[in-house]
Structure 1
């Protein structure tokens, strides 16, 4: 993933700071991400979602609202409607670059703002909310005890998330004037509602109200024990995975033609955790996996090891090759299972004459069906014609036997 610094002019003429996360390969679509109330574009959730979507071929713009993060301006002068304006201006900045966003994602109050903005962005095909309130005025509960002072003085400093912010009377009045259910009734893009049942900031009933108010197509996915900020990396990864799996139904992600000599396209590994070994493996727009190392080798064991993928390729190709042959011969093969293990052995043990260690794949084939001895023997021979087998045997030893 490549990340560019990006800036645009916000609703009050201030320069707003953003990051544009770009796919390493072809860009297939564009997304716009709005962060949670008083947060920034660099939260764990924002960064992980952007990285995962970039791996899918979707560019993601995440920005700091006016007066927050690295953006200029004063938070005191902002309100919900100004956040919506900032979102629209971010979308316009992308459009000016020829990258009109087809996917909008909003976290917490940013989710409510995204819903409001979506109604005026005609190119939007899909909208995602994460722990969003059904009524933007819900955020007032975070500083309810300060309301009398805000009303009498016009503004007051409150503590939000352990940090001081100045909240104005205009901010509160604006929140109370937003009719989000009315917006949802007319929402045309597909909607995905993600919400944590144990969210202590925005309760789960908000997700129900958003979901019920919207028309189909709409989807709801629970975030189990995630917190409101999606601050754990595992939860952020899950959110990213769900969005990546869902969005392809509504946003066109057709890749360009593969390069000559690579009919299946490019398989790309992108580092997902710079402190460990976790890798995002993307094969075209539709297939995503994780590669990792076991805990004993410093990994997090969230995916197969590289050798695990190699063994999986041999096992799958062997099974497919046997099935194709049996189908053509119309033999009574009911089921195929191929077990593959990998290790390294001394070359002299493999009778190659070399001194170094080589790779050895042990393959055990299980065939079920009313097959006679000759048919089973022939299918064992056919296993050695598997294309992956032929590729590997140029430098590796592959031992094969029938089970049972």
Structure 2
């Protein structure tokens, strides 16, 4: 039987077949995801952000919108997140891009056509990094990704994060009540600081169409980061969504509409029958 994510998000998911799929990454870790299959072998892969999971409303909403247009969707948890195996690691950008590679290779072996990859926040960085290394997916959608990775660290780790890392070799991040959340090691911090999105942007193939969507009221990642992507990626479209926050809390339908319009303009749905374009 198809499995549905728990909670009130169920009503957002189209009435399509859902099945839990496990993909092994190059490190031997099992990545867990949900395949929304509606008869189409065209597939969109959706990637979550920092300490998030495949079951956030934004991804359930996108899956519903895409399947309603006759395209299948796979949303999954990166290693160390959600239901997937592995240890959560701060940074980890290139490794998450390689998780996407493992997922894509799995579905290519199953004779799917990878129509697009979509990432939100840190997942936006992951899909762009993927496109900078591999040139086999020609539609990439970056939702609220961060361009300047050296920014945003103080907000999580404190202004003295470098001194603390140099002294102890790690920082344990705790919540407001003092409970442990995750550990930032010197290597994982270095991974973030050494990930150069400028170089990545220049390495994306000109044939790859990239959409960046960013909320004008995003208080997590400033909208100016989206402007930097627009300047550097060769085949790029920018959409600043007025009033939207980082998670598009009150703008989920508008976000889905922008994504679908971009994919339609990229002829992703070309060649589908009318039946496939309906909600099966």
TM-score range, shorter chain: 0.7 to 0.9
Q: In structure 2, what is the Cα distance between the partners aligned to 1:9 and 1:241?
A: 33
The Cα shift of 1:221 comes to 1.3
Q: Does 1:207 align with 2:226?
A: yes
Q: Contact conserved, 1:92 with 1:100, CA < 8 A, in 2?
A: no
The Cα shift of 1:215 comes to 1.1
More strand by share: 1
Residues 121-159 of structure 1 show CA distances to partners (whole Å, capped at 9, x for unaligned) of 333111111111113333423323162333322222214
Q: CA RMSD in A?
A: 2.3
Tell me the equivalent position of 1:173: 190
Residues 53-93 of structure 1 show CA distances to partners (whole Å, capped at 9, x for unaligned) of 11112211111111111111111487222111111111111
Tell me the equivalent position of 2:269: 253
Q: 1:59 to 1:161 in 2, by over 3 A?
A: farther
Matches within 5 A, 1:141-180: 141-145=154-158, 147=161, 148-159=163-174, 164-180=181-197
Q: Report how many residues are paired.
A: 259
Q: In structure 1, what is the Cα distance between the partners aligned to 2:276 and 2:113?
A: 26
Q: Contact conserved, 2:19 with 2:34, CA < 8 A, in 1?
A: yes
Tell me the equivalent position of 2:32: 17
Tell me the equivalent position of 2:3: none
Report which of the two structures shows the higher radius of gyration computed on alpha carbons. 1
Matches within 5 A, 1:216-227: 216=235, 218-227=236-245
Tell me the equivalent position of 1:61: 74
The Cα shift of 1:196 comes to 0.6
Matches within 5 A, 1:318-329: none
Q: 1:160 to 1:10 in 2, by over 3 A?
A: farther
Q: In structure 2, what is the Cα distance between the partners aligned to 1:85 and 1:139?
A: 24
Q: In structure 1, what is the Cα distance between the partners aligned to 2:124 and 2:23?
A: 21
Greater RCO, 1 or 2 (C-alpha within 8 Å, sep 6+): 2
Q: Contact conserved, 1:143 with 1:159, CA < 8 A, in 2?
A: no
Q: Does 1:71 align with 2:88?
A: no
* 3-state DSSP of counterpart to 1:114: helix
Taking structure 2 as the reference length, the TM-score comes to 0.84
Q: 1:213 to 1:219 in 2, by over 3 A?
A: same
Corresponding residue to 1:237 among 253, 256, 277: 253
Q: Contact conserved, 1:28 with 1:57, CA < 8 A, in 2?
A: no
